[in-house]
Structure 1
Amino acid sequence: MSTVFQLQGISKSFGPRILFDKASATFVEGQRVGFIGANGAGKTTIMRMITGDEKPDSGSVTCYPNTRLGYLEQHETFPEGETVIGYLLRVSGREPWECAKMASSFDLTAEHLEMPFLKLSGGYQMRVRLTAIFLKDPNFLLLDEPTNYLDLQTVLLLEDVLRAYRGSLLLISHDREFLKNTCTHTLELEHQKLTLFAGDIEAYFAEKESRLEMTKRYNKKVQLQQRHLQAFVDRFRYKASKATQAQSKLKQLDKLKTIEIAHSIRTVQIHIPDVPQKQTFALECKDLSAGYHADHPVLQGVDFEIKRGEHVAIVGENGKGKTTLLKTLANELTPLSGRFKWGHNITIAYYAQHVPLMLPSKGTVGTYLASKAGATLPEDVLRMASNFLFSKDDLEKSISILSGGERARLCLAGIFLGKHDVLILDEPTNHLDFDTVEALGEALAEFSGTILFVSHSRTFVSEIATSILEVKDGRAIRYPYPYEVYVYETKTHETFLMPKEEPLSIPLSPDNPFLRTKTEIYDDLKKEKRSMERLEADLKKLTQEKERIYKAFETAPTNVDIEKAKRLKEIDAEIIGLESNWFTIQDRIDAFNLEMKGAKNE
C-alpha cells in the first residue's frame, strides 16, 4: 500500500508547554485510523499540521503526490441566510446536480437544499458539511469529533458512509462504539509521542492492558535492583577496598530507569455521593406542553412517571424537543400548559451546554469547587478536580480565563461534588477525554439517585440507561424496550412504538383499494432511476465537452473560434435544462421512496 501522508520527527511547543517531541506517524492508502489521547494533548493540532494550517517547530510534514485531503473541523462559520445548495456550490465548485446527487446520499432532499443552512438542526448541518467534503472526492479524510451534538440517526448514517468509504481516514472521537464500527487502526498521542496500534479500539485497550502489566512487572524488578545497588553503595562508598566497586554500582544505578506509566482509565475514578433510596416517584408529568411559543409547542400531551433511582435516557432526532423537555423539567423554561411535579424533598442538579457560560467571572477553580463541595473532604475535592483534568496548579486559575471546554468540565466537577437526588444532564460527555468519559459512565451507572440525560454516545447511554423516553412527533413516550433494541430499530428504519408520519394523503391501511403494492411502486421507481442515470450521463458528457472548449481557449487565447463560442452557449442552455429535469426526477424518486414505506405487501 502506498503512503499518503507522513509526519517525521515533529516537535511543537506553545510557550513552556511541549505538545510533541520528535513524534512520527505514517498514514497509508486505505488505512482507517481512530485518533485518541487526552484533551489538550494536541490531536487537533496534528490535524491542522496535516492540512497545513499549523507548522511544526521542527521535523517534516510530507503530503505525498495524488493525496487529496478532506477536513471536517470542529467549528466552522457560515454566512447568514446562505442556503444549503449555495453553501455546497461555494465550497465544492461542483455543478448543482452533482451537489444534489451527493446530498441525497446523506438523506438530504430537494427541500433541504433550498433551506438556509443555519436553520437546519445540528444533525442536518453535519450531513451538509459531510456532503461538501465528499464532493471534493478526498482520498484522505480528516474528521475531528464528527459525532458531537449528532442524533443517533445521523451517527448511524455517518457510520454507513465511512464503512463504504475506500480512502484513508483519520478520526478523532471519544465515542468508543463509533470508533469500533469505523476504524481498523488506533493512533495514540501520549507523552508527546505518536504510537500506531494495528487494531481497532477494543484491540488497542487489550494491548494497552497487556503492556501496562508488563511495565509494572519490569518496574518492580528495576526497583528491587535499585534498592540492592543503593544499599551496596551506601554501605561501601567510603571504604577504600570497596570504593571502586561502589563507584561501578553507582554507575549501574544511574542507568537503571523505570518506565513511566501513563494516566489510564484504572486511575480515573469519579465518585458521586449516594442519596437515600425511596420507593416513591421522582417525577410526574401530566398533559405537559413545552416550547417557546404557545402557538407552536415543541411537545404536547406529555404524560409519564419516573420512579426514584431510574436512569432515563431521552432519545430522538435532533430538533424534536429533547433539550426543550430537559430545560422545562429543570425550571429553565415555563410549561406552556399542563404540569409536572418532582417528588418530596428532591434536590436537582442541571447541566447543559449553556450552563458553563453562567459561571461567576470572579474566583478561581479551587474556590468554585470548594463552594460546591459542602462537607466533602479537601482531598476528595482535589481528586474530583484531577478526574476532570484540573491539576493542583490549575486550582489557582481564574475562572475568567478558562476556555469553553474547561468551564464545562468545571461545572460537571462542581455538580458531582454536591449531593443531589436528581441529575439532569444534556450532552455531558462533550469536552471530556476518552478515559474521563468511561469513568463518568461507570460512576453514573452506580449512582443510586435519578438521572435524566441526553447523550450522542451509544456506549455511554448503554452503560447508564435503565429506561428510555423517546421524543418524536411532538410527544415524549416511554419506549418499552432496552436501548440496544432502539439502536437496532433506528438502523433498520422500523418502529415498534410510534407510526411514522404518512407520506400520502389517502388512508394507509392494508384494506385500502387505492394503496399500491410494493412491486408496482418499485417498477415506477426503477424507471425513474434509469431516467436519472441517462440524464446524469448526458450531463457528464456536456460538462466534459465544456471543459475541452475552455482548454482550447486557454491554449490559444488569441485564436477566436466563433463556432466553439456558439457551442459553449448551447451547452450552458442544455445543462440548465437537464439540471431542471434532474431535480424533477429526484422529487419523484423521493415521493416513490416515501410511498414505498406505506405500501401494502403483495
Structure 2
Amino acid sequence: MQAEIRAQLPNADEVIVDYAAGYLNHAAQQFSSEGDPLADAASVIVQLLLSASGDLSSENEVTVQNLVEKFISKLNDERGVDGERRQQAPSAKKLDQTIQVGSQRNVSTTLGLAGASVDLEAANSRKVESRVDKKKLEKAERKLRAKQDKKVFKTVEYEASRLLDQTDEQQSYEEFFMAVNPLQLGADAQSKSKDIKVDGIDISIGGKRILSDTNLTLAYGRRYGLVGQNGIGKSTLLRALSRREVAIPTHISILHVEQEITGDDTPALQAVLDADVWRKHLLKEQEKITKELADLEKERSTMADTSADAARLDKQREGLDITLSDIQNKLAEMDSDKAESRAASILAGLGFSHERQQFATKTFSGGWRMRLALARALFCEPDLLLLDEPSNMLDVPSITFLSDYLQTYPSTVLVVSHDRAFLNEVATDIMHQHSERLDYYKGANFDSFYATKEERRKTAKREYENQMVQRAHLQTFIDKFRYNAAKSSEAQSRIKKLEKMPVLEAPESEYVVHFKFPEVEKLSPPIIQMTNVSFGYTPDKPLLKHVDLDVQLDSRIGIIGPNGAGKTTALKLLIASLSPTQGLISANPRLRIGFFAQHHIDALDMNASAVSFMAAKYPGKSDEEYRRHLGAFGITGMTGLQKMALLSGGQKSRVAFACLGLTNPHILVLDEPSNHLDIEAMDALSIALNQFEGGVVMVSHDVTMLEKVCKSLWICDQGTVEHFDGTVKEYKKRISAQAGQSGVAIQH
C-alpha cells in the first residue's frame, strides 16, 4: 500500500504515508453500530494525502480519491465477501422485563469470577470515596479532546500559525475581545478567586519549544516583571495568555497591550470608550430593545385587549422588559454613565489635552499611540494586565507617569521589559524565562533578582564542578583497581559510592552578547555643527528654534524630552534628511553617518534571511563574511539564515545594527537604540558604543543606557534643545515634581 502511495504522490512525507496505510488497516478491523469505520477513515485519509501532496487541484483530488477507493476495495475483500467482517458484532438479546439491579440480592458471583456471591444492594448503598485525581483526569480529557479535534485534516497547520499573527484577520477587535472575555453576569464572578495557577503548560512556536511542563502562578494584586534573553519566547507567552491558549478561568478578564497599535479615523476619546466592548455592546442592545418596545406599544394600541394578537404582543413585551432590565442593571454595575468622564481623565493623566482627545488616532506618533493603548487598558481595568515592552514607545516623562501609576494598580500586572530602572520601580516579583521553564523570584525587583540569579548560577556551577572532580577521582581508582584482588573490595566500595551520588545537571552556560562596531578613520574638525537652526513642518508652526549643537568624534550626547517635542526631527536635521528653515548645518565632506531609526524593522525584508538581505543591500562580500559580521552583533549559528519574520524583535534590532556597521560610519546617530533589546544586549551595546572611536548622538528613554554611555545630556522641549547639567534621575525627579504641582492624577 505504501509503495503505491509513494508512486502516485512522490512529494508526500514518509511519516504521513505510513500513518495513512496504518490508519486504513486499523479501521478495517473495527466494528461500530453507527456506521462503517473504514468508510469514515477513507474520507479523512483522502484529505490528509491531498494536503500532504502539496497539490490541491481538482485533478489531483480525483487521483487521490481513486487511490484510496482502490485500497478500500482491497481491504473489504480481505475481511470477507461483500464487506462482511470476520469477527462479527456481539449479538444482543432483549429481556422479557426490566431488571432493577439495585434491588436484587445475590444475583451475581462477580460476573463469573471465583468467589462467594456479592450483595449488590449493600454495594450500591456504600459511599466509596473516589481516588481519581480530578485535575489529572480533566487534563487527560482535554488532551484527548484536542487529539480528536485534530483528526479532521483540511490543511496542514503548524503550531506557530496561531501565535505569529497578533490578531486573526477574520476577527474584529470587538469579536476577539468578547471571545476572550465573556460577559459575567451576577455577583458570582466577583466572589471567585482571581489568583492564577495553571500546571503543565506547553507552548511551541515555529517548531521550537518555548515552555515544557511549566507551572504558571500569578497572585492577584502582584506585579510581575517577565525577563529573559531575546528569542526565548516572552512575547509568545503573553500572546498565549491573552488568547486563553493557557487555561485561565474565564471570570478573570485579560487585556494585552501590544507594542504598537494601528491608527484610524476614530477620535482618541472614542477609541478609549470603544475599548470596553461589552459596554458598547450593551448600549446598542439597550437602544435596540427600547425601539422595539416603542414599536410594540404603538402596534398594541390599535388592538382590542381580548384579541389573540394582543396577548402575543403582551407576552413579547414582557420578555423584552426583563431583558432590558438585566442590561440596565449591568450598565449600572459598570458605572456606564460615568464612563466618558473617566476616559477623559485617564487620557488627561497620560498627557492628552482636551483638544488632542478629539484627534483621530492615525494622527498620533508611535509614542502617543502607545499611551492610547495604555489608556484603553486602564479604562477597561482588566484583572490581568499584560504589557509587552511598554517603555519602547514612551518618552522619559511618560515612563515616569506609567511607573508611578502601576505602583498603585489594584489588579495583577505581568510586564515584559528590559528597562532595569522601570522594573526596579514597578515589579514586586520577577519571573525569569529560560530553559523552557519559568523561575520565580518573590519579593524581588530587578537588581535583587539579578544578584540572586548570579549567585545561584555560580553556586550550581561550583557544585557541579566539584562533583565532576569527585566522580573523576572515584572512576580513576575504580578503573585502576577493579580487577586487583587486594584492592577489589575498595573498588567495589567506590562503585557503590559513585552510584549513590546525586546526578547534577550541567549548569547553563553564561549568556554573553558582544557588539563590535568597525574602526573609524580620523577626520579633522569640524565634524558636524548646527548653528542657530530652526525648523517647522509648516511655516506658521516652528517645531525647533535657534538650536546650536556641535558633534565631534569623541562626543557622547544624549537627547531626552517628551514625545512630539522634536527629538527625532533634530536627528533628521543632523543626518541631512531634513533641511533647516533657518540657520546653518555644516559637516566634513568625507563624513559618513550611520542612522539607526526608531522604526528600523520597517526597513528590513521579513521574507528574506539576514544574510540574503545584507548581500542584496550591501553587496561585495561572501555569505561567510556576512555571517561573521552578524556574529559580531550576537546573530550566530543558523539564525542568520532564517527568515527575519521568525526572529524576535531584539534579534531584528541586532540585524539592523549589523547593517549599520557595514556603512563604516564616523558618527552614530541612534533613535531609541535600546528598543527590543534584552538586558544583556543593552549592556553589550553600551560597551560597544563606549569603545567606538567615532561620535555618538542618541535619543533614548532607557535610564541605564543614558547613564552608561552619554557624557552630555540635552533636553528637547518647548521648541528648544538645551544642555542639562544634571543626571537622568534628576530630570525624572523634576518631571514627577511638575506633575504633582499640576495635580494630574488618575483614580483607579
Name the TM-score, length of structure 2 as normaliser: 0.58
Q: How far apart are the structure 2 equivalents of 1:315 and 1:70? A: 30
Q: How far apart are the structure 2 equivalents of 1:253 and 1:327? A: 67
Secondary structure of 2:546 counterpart: strand
Partner residue of 2:213?
Answer: 22
| Equivalent residues of 2:261, 2:373 under 8 A apart | no
TM-superposed deviation, 1:373:
12
1:332 aligns with 2:577: yes
TM-superposed deviation, 1:253:
10
| Equivalent residues of 2:650, 2:678 under 8 A apart | no
1:140 aligns with 2:384: yes
Partner residue of 1:33?
Answer: 224
| Equivalent residues of 2:606, 2:644 under 8 A apart | yes
Among 427, 434, 438, the alignment partner of 1:183 is: 427
Partner residue of 2:683?
Answer: 438
Q: How far apart are the structure 2 equivalents of 1:363 and 1:141? A: 34
The structure-2 alpha-carbon separation of the partners of 1:230 and 1:334, relative to structure 1 and needing over 3 Å to count, comes to: farther
Secondary structure of 2:547 counterpart: strand
TM-superposed deviation, 1:386:
4.7
TM-superposed deviation, 1:232:
4.4
| Equivalent residues of 1:373, 1:381 under 8 A apart | no
TM-superposed deviation, 1:180:
0.6
The structure-2 alpha-carbon separation of the partners of 1:103 and 1:397, relative to structure 1 and needing over 3 Å to count, comes to: closer
The structure-2 alpha-carbon separation of the partners of 1:300 and 1:380, relative to structure 1 and needing over 3 Å to count, comes to: same
Secondary structure of 2:563 counterpart: coil
Trace 1:213-232 onto structure 2 (pairs within 5 A).
213-232=458-477
- Note the alpha carbon deviations across 1:144-170, whole angstroms, 9 max, x for none: 111112111111111111112222211
Q: How far apart are the structure 2 equivalents of 1:13 and 1:246? A: 46
- Note the alpha carbon deviations across 1:478-518, whole angstroms, 9 max, x for none: 23333333222222229xxxxxxxxxxxxxxxxxxxxxxx9
Among 463, 466, 469, the alignment partner of 2:711 is: 466
| Equivalent residues of 2:571, 2:669 under 8 A apart | yes
1:287 aligns with 2:511: no
1:45 aligns with 2:236: yes
Partner residue of 1:85?
Answer: 269
| Equivalent residues of 1:229, 1:249 under 8 A apart | no
Count of aligned pairs between the two proteins: 489
TM-superposed deviation, 1:6:
1.8
- Note the alpha carbon deviations across 1:379-421, whole angstroms, 9 max, x for none: 9964x64574523112333668767654432121343476533
1:259 aligns with 2:506: yes
- Note the alpha carbon deviations across 1:415-435, whole angstroms, 9 max, x for none: 347653311111111121221
Gaps of 5+ in 1: 495-517, 534-602
| Equivalent residues of 1:315, 1:470 under 8 A apart | yes
The structure-2 alpha-carbon separation of the partners of 1:403 and 1:209, relative to structure 1 and needing over 3 Å to count, comes to: closer
Q: Tell me the amino acid that sits aligned with residue 41 of structure 1.
A: I
| Equivalent residues of 1:304, 1:477 under 8 A apart | no
Q: How far apart are the structure 1 equivalents of 2:374 and 2:530? A: 39
Q: How far apart are the structure 2 equivalents of 1:28 and 1:355? A: 37
1:456 aligns with 2:701: yes
TM-superposed deviation, 1:465:
1.1
Trace 1:174-573 onto structure 2 (pairs within 5 A).
174-198=418-442, 199-232=444-477, 235=480, 245=492, 248=495, 252=499, 256-264=503-511, 267-273=512-518, 275=520, 280-293=525-538, 296-343=541-588, 345-359=590-604, 364-366=609-611, 382=628, 385-386=630-631, 388-397=633-642, 406-416=651-661, 419-493=664-738
Partner residue of 2:254?
Answer: 69
The structure-2 alpha-carbon separation of the partners of 1:361 and 1:156, relative to structure 1 and needing over 3 Å to count, comes to: closer
Secondary structure of 1:170 counterpart: strand
Q: Which has the higher contact order (CA 8 A, sep 6+)?
A: 1
Among 127, 130, 135, the alignment partner of 2:371 is: 127
Partner residue of 1:557?
Answer: none
| Equivalent residues of 2:610, 2:643 under 8 A apart | yes
Secondary structure of 1:148 counterpart: helix
TM-superposed deviation, 1:27:
1.0
The structure-2 alpha-carbon separation of the partners of 1:291 and 1:238, relative to structure 1 and needing over 3 Å to count, comes to: farther
Q: How far apart are the structure 1 equivalents of 2:402 and 2:599? A: 27
TM-superposed deviation, 1:323:
1.1
TM-superposed deviation, 1:261:
1.7
| Equivalent residues of 1:374, 1:418 under 8 A apart | no
| Equivalent residues of 1:4, 1:140 under 8 A apart | no
| Equivalent residues of 2:525, 2:552 under 8 A apart | yes
Q: How far apart are the structure 2 equivalents of 1:223 and 1:409? A: 37
Among 202, 207, 227, the alignment partner of 1:11 is: 202
- Note the alpha carbon deviations across 1:322-380, whole angstroms, 9 max, x for none: 1112122123233334321234754322111344544579985346679979999x899
The structure-2 alpha-carbon separation of the partners of 1:333 and 1:402, relative to structure 1 and needing over 3 Å to count, comes to: farther
Q: How far apart are the structure 1 equivalents of 2:216 and 2:708? A: 34
Name the TM-score, length of structure 1 as normaliser: 0.71
Partner residue of 1:507?
Answer: none
| Equivalent residues of 2:606, 2:645 under 8 A apart | yes
The structure-2 alpha-carbon separation of the partners of 1:215 and 1:279, relative to structure 1 and needing over 3 Å to count, comes to: farther
Q: How far apart are the structure 2 equivalents of 1:419 and 1:254? A: 56
Q: How far apart are the structure 2 equivalents of 1:118 and 1:112? A: 12
| Equivalent residues of 1:373, 1:417 under 8 A apart | no
The structure-2 alpha-carbon separation of the partners of 1:409 and 1:268, relative to structure 1 and needing over 3 Å to count, comes to: closer
Secondary structure of 1:55 counterpart: coil
The structure-2 alpha-carbon separation of the partners of 1:166 and 1:403, relative to structure 1 and needing over 3 Å to count, comes to: closer
TM-superposed deviation, 1:186:
0.3
Q: Tell me the amino acid that sits aligned with residue 562 of structure 2.
A: E
Secondary structure of 2:554 counterpart: coil
Q: How far apart are the structure 1 equivalents of 2:382 and 2:396? A: 25
Q: How far apart are the structure 2 equivalents of 1:156 and 1:271? A: 32
Partner residue of 2:171?
Answer: none
Q: Tell me the amino acid that sits aligned with residue 196 of structure 2.
A: F
The structure-2 alpha-carbon separation of the partners of 1:307 and 1:76, relative to structure 1 and needing over 3 Å to count, comes to: closer
Q: Tell me the amino acid that sits aligned with residue 348 of structure 1.
A: I
Partner residue of 2:145?
Answer: none
The structure-2 alpha-carbon separation of the partners of 1:387 and 1:163, relative to structure 1 and needing over 3 Å to count, comes to: farther
The structure-2 alpha-carbon separation of the partners of 1:173 and 1:363, relative to structure 1 and needing over 3 Å to count, comes to: closer
Q: How far apart are the structure 1 equivalents of 2:250 and 2:441? A: 22
The Cα RMSD (Å) is 3.9
| Equivalent residues of 1:83, 1:114 under 8 A apart | yes
Secondary structure of 1:437 counterpart: helix
Gaps of 5+ in 2: 1-191, 280-335
Secondary structure of 1:98 counterpart: helix
Q: Tell me the amino acid that sits aligned with residue 576 of structure 2.
A: N
User: Which has the larger displacement, 331-340 or 230-239?
Assistant: 230-239
Q: How far apart are the structure 1 equivalents of 2:658 and 2:676? A: 13
